[in-house]
């Protein structure tokens, strides 16, 4: 049923919200001229969520599996992300929440940080700043 599909799609986009530490972490990285690519297997236009959450200006590019034709952990989607921001694997940090899906980045030689999924407002993204040598006093602490 197309109407049901459209309704589920709208609800899915409505329930996705950025973690409280996403904006300050992305801002600190942006201020340090770190290139950022959002890479996702989500089958919905994540750019809509980025726009709604006020995060679009903090990422350089978005690579989505349904757009490039590869699904994580296929290393080709990680290579597409590297190409999108003109970075090499050895100078990149992949931050993900699925050891299985995000293992493709590690297989390509990308340093990979797997953060556990959480239901709270903070996701532990401050670890990204520590691993990249950047700090942000306004970033919420992990819980």
How do the pLDDT tens digits run along the chain, 143 residues long?
778 877 777 777 777 788 888 999 999 999 999 999 999 998 888 899 999 999 999 999 999 999 999 999 999 999 999 999 999 999 999 999 898 999 999 999 999 999 877 776 666 777 888 888 876 544 444 43
Residue 30 φ/ψ region, left for φ over 0, alpha for ψ in the -120 to 50 degree band, beta for the rest: alpha
Task: Spell out the domains of the chain, with CATH numbers in brackets.
Answer: 18-132 (3.40.50.1000)
CA distance 2 to 10: 12
Longest dimension (CA), the chain: 50
- Residues comprising the chain, all counted: 143
Kindly list the distances between the CA atom of residue 95 and the CA atoms of 1, 4, 104, in Å, as whole numbers in the listed order: 36, 33, 12
Q: Closest by alpha carbon to 38, among 92, 94, 86?
A: 94
């Amino acid at each position: 049923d197309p109407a049901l599909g459209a309704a589920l799609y709208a609800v899915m986009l409505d329930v996705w919200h950025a973690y409280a530490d996403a904006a300050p972490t992305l801002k600190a990285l942006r201020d340090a001229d770190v290139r950022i690519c959002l890479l996702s297997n989500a089958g919905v236009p994540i750019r809509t969520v980025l726009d709604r959450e006020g995060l679009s200006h903090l990422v350089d590019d978005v690579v989505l599996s349904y757009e490039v034709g590869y699904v994580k952990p296929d290393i080709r989607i990680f290579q597409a992300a590297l190409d999108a921001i003109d970075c090499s694997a050895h100078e990149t940090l992949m931050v993900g929440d699925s050891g299985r899906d995000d293992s493709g980045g590690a297989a390509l030689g990308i340093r990979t940080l797997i953060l556990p999924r959480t239901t709270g407002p903070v996701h532990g993204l401050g670890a990204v700043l520590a691993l990249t040598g950047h700090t942000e006093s306004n970033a919420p602490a992990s819980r």
